[in-house]
Structure 1
Amino acid sequence: MNSSPHASPDNGPAVTRAEFDALFERVRSWGRWSPEEADRGAWNLVTPGHARRAAALVRTGTTVPMGLPWNTVSGPDNGRPALHYMSDLGDVEAPEPSCHKDFIAADYHGKGVSHLDALSHIAYRGRLFDGRTARDVVDAGGARFGAVSALGPLVTKGVLLDLPAVLGTDWLEPGQAVHAGDVLTAEKALGVSIGHGDAVLLRSGHFRRRAALGAWNPDTASAGFHVDAMPLLAEREIALLGADGDSDVRPSPVAGLHSPVHALAITAMGVPLLDNLDLEKLSGACAQAGRYEFLLVVTPLNIPGGTGSPVNPVAVL
């Protein structure tokens, strides 16, 4: 069943490119780290102390994965299906034991695969984070700056902004924007405080809506952050931003710019993004535990030159 998302004006207010460029300059953190550290961006904020404090949040040991199942089926939200096939069925003549093997691949920067966006993924006006000229450092061989291999594993405090739980709804409708005021309201309602080096995960109820009403094209309409939320998150010095969509509200409120939150987070602030997380189980686990902060572990694949990686992040309560 394919459901047409509810057309909503709630993605506004509209933002001009001039206003967006001024906002970009306001949150920009270029030059904050040394050239050797810059391709880790805001992940430089996370220290061993952050990992120790996050580990202290573990009480029950409940472990919640957030990665979507490997999706090989084409649909309105999976235009480039992942690949999975058997490459060895154990029927080749060879000494015992027989062996079964398979092959996987994915064009993962889409809507069907849970993945991490590295700093080489997004350029604005031809420049990557820290002012690197994209065409100078990204070519057919991959990225020589801001590659996912520079990031490594992240262990820090995660904060779930469960907006449907705060609002008493099943989900946010596609096209509904989350503003700075909504973030502050959610902090108060959920008893959390976003701080230095934290990972912020936004639940809109995307996959609950998909299960109830069917798939739609999130490139056309999705709930997510309005650009006016980004100065608050920059002020709090977050290290990672993620969502059950891709963090951007769509339609975009910025004329001529499809993914403005991507540009602000990745390119201006140096904050990697987690896209397409299944946050439904985490929502239930947090509600049961009565708390919305937890130990978060993100381990991207070590892909030299990669602009990101498929991931299965894990929250531990």
Structure 2
Amino acid sequence: MTIVPDRPLYADLPGGRAVGLYGPDEQLGALNLLTPGRVAAAAALVRTGEIFSLNASLYYPSPHPASSVSRRRPPTHVVHRSERARDDLWEGLFTQYSSQWDGFLHVRDVEHGCFYNGNTDESRGIEAWAERGIAGRGVLLDVARWLTDQGRELDWRTDGEITVADLEDCARAQGVAIDEGTILLIRTGWETGFTEASYETRAALATTDFRCPGIEPSPAMLAYLWDSGVAAVAADNFTLEPFPFREPWMHADLLNRLGIPIGEFWHLDDLADACKDAGRFDFLFTSAPLNGPGTAGSPANALAIL
């Protein structure tokens, strides 16, 4: 792993691209910030030993908001039985379903003809993360609860924006810092709204006019995430940023140009309640992506340990 002691500010990155910053061939991106020292410090955050899975069911969400306009369908579970044993086969496992990571092969830079860090080899995918594993200090910003406390409840059925000021003020209210190497989890409230709605309501929303809130797509947000040293960012919503997408497209900027992993559809409600009760919002975070060569995404397999 290549360590960069003094990373340039976002404003100083040529074209907003971190090409070659951690080396010419690396595929870890901002995960390089999860140094052994930072992982050890994150382990010291474990106090009660409570474990929170951040992984929704493989059938979540049902129905998928994009099911009307894409191939996103839940997997099929087939059990192979013999007299003495049972084996499972998951057919049609779509990595854009359930709690998942978007890998660096998920978005291609058409202008430069490459993926993250100038990579043009589509056989080099998320296995780089899997071979290393992901562990470090996680921070939950419970923006949904904080906005409600401010009298500004965010409607999960709209494409409302969470601003940089919202993230900063929420962090300040929670008494937590976003330091270099932070794995940032953002609760928008989308999970709560979706799971509490009836199936009929959810199905009615799964149209070509589907909308969901998220972090504002702006140079200011990119600068905030990069300059804060965020190693990865995930949320409980469909696309991290608001949907429908608008410019700038955060997926391209975060994944392709900056090398910051994106997580979507994460189960954060139980963790949020526990953090509120404990009065602290940082914890040991771990994730084990699938070791699938050349893959563009993976189930999150993520845990938060308080």
Q: Normalising to structure 1: TM-score of the pair?
A: 0.80
Q: Secondary structure at the match of 1:137?
A: coil
Question: Counterparts of 2:42 and 2:216 in 1: how far apart (Å)?
Answer: 28
- Listed one character per residue, the Cα deviations across residues 151-191 of structure 1 (whole Å, up to 9, x for unaligned) are 13111011111111211266543311111111111110111
Question: Counterparts of 1:168 and 1:73 in 2: how far apart (Å)?
Answer: 24
- Residue in structure 1 matched with residue 267 of structure 2 by the alignment: 278
**Quick one: which amino acid aligns to residue 289 of structure 1?**
A
Q: By how many angstroms is 1:26 displaced?
A: 5.7
Q: How does 1:130-169 map to 2 (within 5 A)?
A: 130-132=117-119, 136-138=120-122, 143-144=123-124, 147-152=125-130, 153-168=133-148
Q: Secondary structure at the match of 2:32?
A: helix
Are residue 104 (structure 1) and residue 90 (structure 2) matched? yes
Alpha-carbon RMSD across the aligned residues, in angstroms, is: 2.3
Change (3 A) 1:115 1:184: same
**Quick one: which amino acid aligns to residue 269 of structure 1?**
L
Residue of 146, 170, 173 corresponding to 1:186: 170
- Listed one character per residue, the Cα deviations across residues 128-155 of structure 1 (whole Å, up to 9, x for unaligned) are 11233xxx422xxxx33xx111113111
For structure 2, the 5+ residue unaligned runs are: 1-10
Q: Please tell me whether the aligned partners of residues 117 and 309 of structure 1 are also in contact (alpha carbons under 8 angstroms).
A: yes
Q: Secondary structure at the match of 2:301?
A: coil
Q: By how many angstroms is 1:211 displaced?
A: 2.2
Q: By how many angstroms is 1:231 displaced?
A: 0.8
Question: Counterparts of 2:37 and 2:92 in 1: how far apart (Å)?
Answer: 35
Change (3 A) 1:74 1:261: same
Question: Counterparts of 1:247 and 1:44 in 2: how far apart (Å)?
Answer: 22
Q: Please tell me whether the aligned partners of residues 78 and 91 of structure 2 are also in contact (alpha carbons under 8 angstroms).
A: no
- Residue in structure 1 matched with residue 108 of structure 2 by the alignment: 123
- Residue in structure 1 matched with residue 38 of structure 2 by the alignment: 50
Are residue 313 (structure 1) and residue 302 (structure 2) matched? yes
- Listed one character per residue, the Cα deviations across residues 7-48 of structure 1 (whole Å, up to 9, x for unaligned) are xxxxxxxxxxxxxxx999564211201124x21111111111
**Quick one: which amino acid aligns to residue 307 of structure 1?**
A
Q: Secondary structure at the match of 2:146?
A: helix
- Residue in structure 1 matched with residue 181 of structure 2 by the alignment: 197
Q: Secondary structure at the match of 2:277?
A: helix
**Quick one: which amino acid aligns to residue 76 of structure 2?**
H
Change (3 A) 1:49 1:211: same
- Residue in structure 1 matched with residue 246 of structure 2 by the alignment: 253
Change (3 A) 1:109 1:99: closer
Change (3 A) 1:270 1:248: same
**Quick one: which amino acid aligns to residue 168 of structure 1?**
T
Q: Please tell me whether the aligned partners of residues 66 and 207 of structure 2 are also in contact (alpha carbons under 8 angstroms).
A: no
- Listed one character per residue, the Cα deviations across residues 104-130 of structure 1 (whole Å, up to 9, x for unaligned) are 1444343x3111111121112233112
**Quick one: which amino acid aligns to residue 54 of structure 2?**
M
Q: Secondary structure at the match of 1:158?
A: strand
Q: Please tell me whether the aligned partners of residues 31 and 232 of structure 2 are also in contact (alpha carbons under 8 angstroms).
A: yes
Q: Please tell me whether the aligned partners of residues 77 and 91 of structure 2 are also in contact (alpha carbons under 8 angstroms).
A: no
Q: By how many angstroms is 1:306 displaced?
A: 1.2
**Quick one: which amino acid aligns to residue 198 of structure 1?**
T
Residue of 70, 73, 77 corresponding to 2:58: 70
Q: Secondary structure at the match of 2:28?
A: helix
Question: Counterparts of 2:297 and 2:230 in 1: how far apart (Å)?
Answer: 19
Residue of 213, 225, 236 corresponding to 1:223: 213
Q: Please tell me whether the aligned partners of residues 198 and 238 of structure 1 are also in contact (alpha carbons under 8 angstroms).
A: yes
Q: Normalising to structure 2: TM-score of the pair?
A: 0.82
Q: By how many angstroms is 1:74 displaced?
A: 5.9
Question: Counterparts of 1:65 and 1:218 in 2: how far apart (Å)?
Answer: 30
- Listed one character per residue, the Cα deviations across residues 214-254 of structure 1 (whole Å, up to 9, x for unaligned) are 42349831111112312111101211110112311123332
**Quick one: which amino acid aligns to residue 49 of structure 2?**
G
Percent identical residues: 27
Change (3 A) 1:23 1:243: farther
Change (3 A) 1:168 1:129: same
Q: Secondary structure at the match of 1:241?
A: strand
Change (3 A) 1:72 1:287: closer
Q: Please tell me whether the aligned partners of residues 202 and 243 of structure 1 are also in contact (alpha carbons under 8 angstroms).
A: yes
Q: Please tell me whether the aligned partners of residues 50 and 155 of structure 1 are also in contact (alpha carbons under 8 angstroms).
A: no
Q: By how many angstroms is 1:281 displaced?
A: 0.6
**Quick one: which amino acid aligns to residue 84 of structure 1?**
T
